[in-house]
Structure 1
Amino acid sequence: MQISEMTAKMAAGNGFIAALDQSGGSTPKALKGYGIEDGAWTTEEDMFGLIHDMRCRIIRSAVFNGDKVIGAILFERTMDGSVDGKPVPQALIEKGVVPFIKIDKGLEDEVNGVQLMKPMPELDALLTKASALGVYGTKERSVINSANREGIAAVVAQQFEVGKQVLAHGMMPMIEPEVNIKSETRAECDAILRDEILKNLEALPEGTQVMLKLSLPIVPGTFDPLVSHPRVLRVVALSGGYKRPEACVELAKNAGIIASFSRALLDDLRFQMSDAEFDAALGEAIDAIYAGSTIKTAPVTA
C-alpha cells in the first residue's frame, strides 16, 4: 500500500484498528491475560520476547487481515522486530493492515484532574525511523480524570502540539486524550473535550488532518461534530476497561466511530490454545468488533 492508499483506507475502510501496543508497564498484565504467569521469564528481554511472540501469532493468523482489521498500533519494540523474517510493519502492510506506532513515553502525575504526556526528547528520531519502516501514523495518549476545563485544555493543546510534530514528518497523528470511564464527571469531561478539540482543529494548517482516539462517550452522539469535521480523517474508540460485549454495545450507539481495542480484542486468547482454537477465538473477537464498528449491529439498550 502507498501512503495515499493507507489514507483512503483510514478515511473510509470498513473495519477497525487493533491496538497491539502494550508497553513496559502493561506487558506483565497482558501476558498474564494470555496465560503466561510472571515466573515464566527472568529478564525484561525475555518478557518482551514473549509478548512479541504473542503479537506475531496474531499477525500470522489467517483471520487477522485487512478485510476487517484496517490498522494496527505497535509498540516500538514490536515495530523494530520481525515476523517470519519480515519487518513487522511490512508484514502488516502485506496483509492490508495499516501500521501505526505508539510514541508517548507514559504519563505525568495528575494536575488539574488530568495527566499530561511525559516529555519525548527523542521523538523526531523515532518518527524518522518509523517512517522509513513504512509506518503510516502514530498514537499518543493522555488521561482525563475530572471535568477541569483548564486541565482538559492543557491536555488537548499538548496533544495537538505533538500532532503537528508528527505531521511535519509526513505521518498521521492519532490523538488520544482518554477520558477515564470511572470519572464521576464523565459527561462533562466528554463535552469539554469535544469543544477543546474543535478549537484546536480550527487552528490546524489548511489541508491537514488528524485522527482521534477517544473513550466512548456516556451520551451517544456527543462526538458527532468531530466525526463530521473536515480536518478529522477518522474517529476511533478505545475500550477503556469495558469488556468486549459491553464495549461493542457502546460502540454501536455511535455512528461513524470505529474501534481501536486492545484488551477487548485479546481477552479470550491463551498461550495454551492450539492454532485452530486461537484462530477461532481471535476470529470471534474480530467479527464482534467489526460489527460494532461498521454494521452497528450490536444490541443497543434504551
Structure 2
Amino acid sequence: MHEQALIDTANALVVDGKGILAADESTGTIKKRLDSIGVESTEKTRQTYRNLLFTADGAQDFISGVILFEETLFQQADDGTPFPKLLADQGVIPGIKVDKGAKPLAGSPEEKVTEGLDGLRERLAEYAAAGARFAKWRGVIDIADDQPTDYCIHVNAHALARYAALCQEAGIVPIVEPEVLMDGANSIERCEEVTDRVLDAVFAELKKQNVMLEGMLLKPNMVIAGKQCPQQAGVEQVAQATLRCLKRRVPSAVPGIVFLSGGQSDELATAHLDAMNRMGPQPWKLSFSYGRALQAPALAAWGGKDENIAAAQQAYLKRARNNGAAARGEYSADMEQAA
C-alpha cells in the first residue's frame, strides 16, 4: 500500500479553494452533449472539446484535478502533449473514470448496479502508467415508492468498496460516488432518509474491505428534493439537511467531500456548496466535482466553432472561479454578473 502517497493526493484534490472537473462523460453521454449544440460526436470533436477545457489559462487556480474518460486519458492536446501530462504540468492531477456504467440489477430490474470490476486490477495498472493518480466509480440509487431496496443499496455499496480497495492497492486514490438521483417527485426529507441509508451501507462496506479512509474522497449527492417535487427546498435548507446527513455517516478520517451537481443548475449547485462552507468548519473539506455545472456554459458558448474557443474558455473559467469561491464560502450571486 502506498499510504502516504494516497493521503497526499487525496488532500491535494481538496486543497482550499479548488475542486475537480468531471470531464469523464462516456461516449454515449458526450454524444448527447455535442448533439445539443449541433456537433457530430467523433474522436476528433471530443478531443477538440476536451482540449478547449484543459488549455483554459487560469483554470488551474481553481481546479485541482480532472476526471478523464478512458479515451481521453490516451488522447493528446493539439500540440501533441498527452492530456495527463498537459494537466500535470499545470499542477492539475489527472484522474480516470473506471466503472462500466449502471446496468439493470438481476432480481430487481427496475434498479441499477454498476459494473466494471472484472479486469479492474489490470486496467488500473494501465491507467496509473498513463498518469492517472485518482479514479471514480459511480453507483446509482433511484428513489421511488418501493425503492431503493436494501438489496440494491447493498450490492452498490459492496461494489464501491471493492473498487476502492483495488484502487488503493494500485496507488490510486478512489473517489467513491454513491449518487441518490434527484429525478423523482420525492421530498427533501425522503432524500435525506435514503441518503442516510446509502452512506451507512457504503461506509460499513469500506470498513469490511479495509479501505483506508484517509486515502479516499467521497462524492455524494446533496440532500435535495426531486425535480418533480412541487415543494422545492431553499438553499439554506438544502445545506442544513446535507450537512446533518453527512455528519451522521461520514467519518472525520475522510479528508474531503466533493459533491456532484446531479442535474442542478450551474448557479444553484454553486450556491448550495457556498452555503455549506459558510456554516463553519466541518470535519472534512467540502468542495466540488462537477460536470455539467462547470461545463454547460462553455459548451453552449463554443458551439463547435474554432472562433468561439476563447469565449468558451472564459465561460468555463467563470464557473471554475465561482465554484472555487464557494469552496471557501466566499461566493456571492453578484459574481454571476461579472464578466
Q: Same fold (TM over 0.5)?
A: yes
C-alpha distance in structure 1 between counterparts of 2:111 and 2:276, whole Å: 25
User: Cα distance 1:53–1:69, how it changes in 2: closer, same or farther (>3 A)?
Assistant: same
- Give the match for residue 75 of structure 1: 69
- Give the match for residue 134 of structure 1: 131
What are the residue-to-residue correspondences of 1:152-167 with 2, within 5 Å? 152-167=153-168
C-alpha distance in structure 2 between counterparts of 1:80 and 1:127, whole Å: 14
Pair 1:24 & 2:27 matched: yes
Letter in 2 for 1:31: L
Q: Cα deviation per residue 1:238-281 (whole Å; 9 max; x = unaligned)?
A: 11111101111222233432111111111112233534322321
Tell me, which stretches of 5 or more residues in structure 1 are unaligned? 42-46
- Give the match for residue 280 of structure 1: 314
The Cα shift of 1:207 comes to 4.9
- Give the match for residue 188 of structure 1: 193
- Give the match for residue 216 of structure 1: 222
Pair 1:253 & 2:286 matched: no
Q: Cα deviation per residue 1:75-129 (whole Å; 9 max; x = unaligned)?
A: 0000011112121111111111111100111111153864111244232222111
The Cα shift of 1:201 comes to 3.9
The Cα shift of 1:142 comes to 1.5
The range that moved more, 197-206 or 277-286, is 197-206
Counterpart of 1:260 in 2: which secondary structure? Answer: strand
Pair 1:15 & 2:10 matched: no
C-alpha distance in structure 2 between counterparts of 1:228 and 1:160, whole Å: 15
State whether residues 164 and 211 of structure 2, in contact with CA within 8 Å, keep that contact through their aligned partners in structure 1: no
State whether residues 99 and 137 of structure 2, in contact with CA within 8 Å, keep that contact through their aligned partners in structure 1: yes
State whether residues 139 and 178 of structure 2, in contact with CA within 8 Å, keep that contact through their aligned partners in structure 1: yes
> How high is the TM-score relative to the length of structure 2?
0.78
User: Cα distance 1:169–1:10, how it changes in 2: closer, same or farther (>3 A)?
Assistant: same
What are the residue-to-residue correspondences of 1:202-241 with 2, within 5 Å? 202-205=207-210, 207=212, 209-218=215-224, 219-221=241-243, 222-225=245-248, 228-230=251-253, 232-241=254-263
Pair 1:143 & 2:134 matched: no
User: Cα distance 1:162–1:3, how it changes in 2: closer, same or farther (>3 A)?
Assistant: closer
User: Cα distance 1:113–1:191, how it changes in 2: closer, same or farther (>3 A)?
Assistant: farther
The Cα shift of 1:36 comes to 3.4
The range that moved more, 220-229 or 52-61, is 220-229
C-alpha distance in structure 2 between counterparts of 1:190 and 1:286, whole Å: 27
C-alpha distance in structure 1 between counterparts of 2:216 and 2:275, whole Å: 23
C-alpha distance in structure 2 between counterparts of 1:88 and 1:16, whole Å: 18
User: Cα distance 1:95–1:254, how it changes in 2: closer, same or farther (>3 A)?
Assistant: same
Counterpart of 1:71 in 2: which secondary structure? Answer: strand
The range that moved more, 21-30 or 111-120, is 111-120
CA RMSD of aligned residues (A): 2.3
C-alpha distance in structure 1 between counterparts of 2:257 and 2:332, whole Å: 19
The Cα shift of 1:13 comes to 4.1
C-alpha distance in structure 2 between counterparts of 1:227 and 1:14, whole Å: 21
C-alpha distance in structure 1 between counterparts of 2:287 and 2:67, whole Å: 14
C-alpha distance in structure 2 between counterparts of 1:128 and 1:179, whole Å: 30
C-alpha distance in structure 2 between counterparts of 1:4 and 1:152, whole Å: 28
> How high is the TM-score relative to the length of structure 1?
0.86
User: Cα distance 1:113–1:294, how it changes in 2: closer, same or farther (>3 A)?
Assistant: farther
Pair 1:123 & 2:117 matched: no
Tell me, which stretches of 5 or more residues in structure 2 are unaligned? 225-240, 278-284, 334-339
C-alpha distance in structure 1 between counterparts of 2:157 and 2:117, whole Å: 16
The Cα shift of 1:7 comes to 3.8
C-alpha distance in structure 1 between counterparts of 2:16 and 2:219, whole Å: 16
Counterpart of 1:131 in 2: which secondary structure? Answer: helix
Counterpart of 2:114 in 1: which secondary structure? Answer: coil
C-alpha distance in structure 2 between counterparts of 1:181 and 1:145, whole Å: 8
Q: Cα deviation per residue 1:219-245 (whole Å; 9 max; x = unaligned)?
A: 231213555521x23211111111101
Match of 2:91 among 89, 96, 99: 96
User: Cα distance 1:217–1:26, how it changes in 2: closer, same or farther (>3 A)?
Assistant: same
Letter in 1 for 2:98: I
C-alpha distance in structure 1 between counterparts of 2:19 and 2:141, whole Å: 24
Counterpart of 1:85 in 2: which secondary structure? Answer: coil
- Give the match for residue 179 of structure 1: 180
